[in-house]
Amino acid sequence: MNQEILIKHRASARAHGLARLASALVVAFALVGCSSVRSQVGNNNAPVTFAPTTPGATTAGAAAGQPQNSYADLVARVAPAVVTVRSERRGRAAQQHPFMDDPRFREFFGDRLPRGPQTPRREEGLGSGVIVTADGYILTNHHVVDGADEVKVEMNDRRVMDAKVVGSDQPSDLAVLKINATNLPVLPLGNSDQVRVGDIALALGNPLGIGQTVTSGIISAKNRATGLGDGSFADFIQTDAPINRGNSGGALVNTNGELIGINSQILSPSGGSIGIGFAIPSNMAKGVMEQLVKNGKVRRGQLGVQIQDVTSDIAANLDLKEIRGVIIGAVTPGSAGERAGLKQGDVITALDNAPVNDVNGLRNRVASAAPGADVVLTIVRDGREQQVKATLGEFTQTAQRGEDNSGSGDGAAGGESAGKLGIRAQSLTPELAAELQLQSGAQGVVVADVDPDGPAAVAGIQRGDVIVQVNRQPVRSTADLTAAIGRNATRPALLLINRRGTTSFLTVKPKA
């Protein structure tokens, strides 16, 4: 059985001729990492005027109250603003073995071996783009133009124009191109926040290089995080409108003819569409584009805390009224969160009075604010709700990343804790702390072994984890752990785990 993998539509597709197309259809494509493309035009302080939306616009059939049986008029209106983006980059030349020019070595291989230095290969990329201003600004994906030496845009009327990369942003997988033209057809930006699950959507682009194609479907879900690539600020619209390689950077439009998303990724076991595609919301794209055009880069706010979703077990342990919000596992020293007085174990339930439902939502809302902006966080601490004001720092890509851990250790059993949690524990020594890559002075109890059928294994606790707290109380020895678990009543126990320097909360239901 093929394991499903998330695939980002890379801009390395070669689609010249039917023969190459046929072979491309049976290849499973792999994800490659992206790196930011620096602005090639410098700062551009000219204001960007986006095309106005046209609220209330409908197709002729829908306006007359008749069943919609054709989108031809809609497609004719929006298709001219969707373009093909072709990029080229210089690949690394094949290295020549030092024996290639040795006559004795060549006796065995004759002329099958290349002679002399090899010319670097030119790698061609294919994607799509959307014209969003009449004077030539185009939205596409970062991975379509990443590392490109040359970018060309092929218009719907077959004109081909040179394009400059104004700016490219890896965390959002968005890039802005500029062509030297005026009075261009424009796709107006819609309000992606108003998109509803079940709405009809059309996807436009150039899949596999066969030419502009339109597919239809519905909005399948919102606020998706795929975990693919950089993944820092994923907030995807999911659609079942077929999207294939080459559609990257193309348009996802609603039946009003408005751009609601930039097609970016698919979920597929083979590289072809299976009806699970993802688009970057137009509201996010607009904000990123404005910053790239003005500054050539994107600046984002940062709170400086490690967070995780509140689960039903965490909510039960903390006596929370609702199962929502995020719990703070650690606060980065010197960060905006520390300056605001946030603490480990605080539950953030709202940002500027708007509810916080999950990690992805809070992260994106903080990132959309400018560094230095003031925000008000509603938190629950020790069962009491309070508000905290924070001045955001600036996002850096080295933050918010943790590592898995597989530690080791021997020692005495943890007494009753071993029976109720299904673990064998030992006290944390300075030597063990160093081996587990913990900071100096770290305290807690090390998990030396885990019963694969026990409650700790079910909760995700691993060998080498350090149990720092049980039910918000510090644990310094196996005796402390045994006592804390023994005091736990019918509720799941809330454990604070340190895994190679990254802290997070886990809930465990001890055996009776």
Q: Which residues are catalytic?
A: 143, 173, 248
Residue 129, Cβ density class (10 Å: 0-12 exposed, 13-18 middle, ≥19 buried) = buried
DSSP-assigned letters across all residues of 136-156: SEEEE-HHHHTT-SEEEEE-T
- Residue closest to 48 by CA, chosen among 140, 131, 142, 135: 135
The residue assigned the tokens 């093929």 is: 2
Torsion of CA 466, 472, 477, 479, to 10 degrees: -130
Distance between CA atoms of 87 and 11, rounded to whole angstroms? 8
b/e per residue, 323-362, with b = 16+ CB within 10 A? ebbbbbbbbbeebbbbebebebbbbbbbbeeeebbbbbbb
Helix (H) / strand (E) containing 179:
strand 174-179
Token duo for residue 379 = 């938190």
The residue assigned the tokens 């302080």 is: 45
First-to-last C-alpha distance (Å) of the chain:
40
502 within 8 A of 403, measured Cβ to Cβ: yes
Distance between CA atoms of 214 and 257, rounded to whole angstroms? 13
Token duo for residue 437 = 């890559």
Q: Largest alpha-carbon pair distance within the chain?
A: 84
Helix (H) / strand (E) containing 487:
helix 478-487
Distance between CA atoms of 495 and 111, rounded to whole angstroms? 68
State the CB neighbour count (10 A cutoff) for residue 246.
28
| Identity at 474, one-letter amino acid code | P
3-state secondary structure of 362: helix
List phi, psi (to 5°) of 424: -115, 125
| Identity at 229, one-letter amino acid code | G
433 within 8 A of 440, measured Cβ to Cβ: yes
The residue assigned the tokens 């040359």 is: 150
388 within 8 A of 341, measured Cβ to Cβ: yes
